[in-house]
Structure 1
Amino acid sequence: MYTLYKTYKPYVSPFDPCPPITVKSYSTPPNLYLGFQPPNLPQFPPREALKAGTLWKVFYDPYYSPYERARED
């Protein structure tokens, strides 16, 4: 199983004047986890494909910033 959001812990210097960010996150696109495009993938209807930015449903990635994700939880 894969996740579209990854996290890591950056180095926090004891001499940093700002409050540290202890955990950072980033988004990875779904096409990284699909080795090749198999035939007969489900598709969006044309109008929805324009909104989603892709024709195939497996490649759709609804990007949320970490701040938006925190509000949803």
Structure 2
Amino acid sequence: MFTNTKFYHPYISPFDPCKPIKTKRYSTPPHLYIGFQPPNLEQFSPMEALRAGTLWKAFYDPYYSPYEMAKGGFRE
């Protein structure tokens, strides 16, 4: 199983005047983990596909704004 969200710990200089961010996160698109599109992938209904921006559920990658993340915590 893979996750679209990755974490890393950047170097923190002892001379940095700002409060450091110890753990940073970034998102990777789902198509990185699928080589060729396999046959018979599960599909959204036409209305759901319009809302999601893709026909195939395997390629759906929701976006959460940084403000939404701060309010509700980490979502995946």
Q: TM-score, normalised by structure 1?
A: 0.85
User: Hey, what does 2:8 align to over in structure 1?
Assistant: 8
**Structure 2 residue 29 is the aligned partner of structure 1 residue 32:** no
> Aligned residue for 1:58?
58
Matched-pair identity in %: 71
Task: Give ranges in structure 1 of 5+ residues lacking alignment.
Answer: none
How many Å separate the matches in 2 of 1:66 and 1:9?
A: 18
How many residue pairs align between the two structures?
73
Letter in 1 for 2:60: Y
Unaligned 5+ runs, structure 2: none
- TM-score, scaled relative to structure 2: 0.82
After the TM superposition, list the runs of 4 or more consecutive aligned residues in structure 1 that deviate by more than 6 angstroms: none
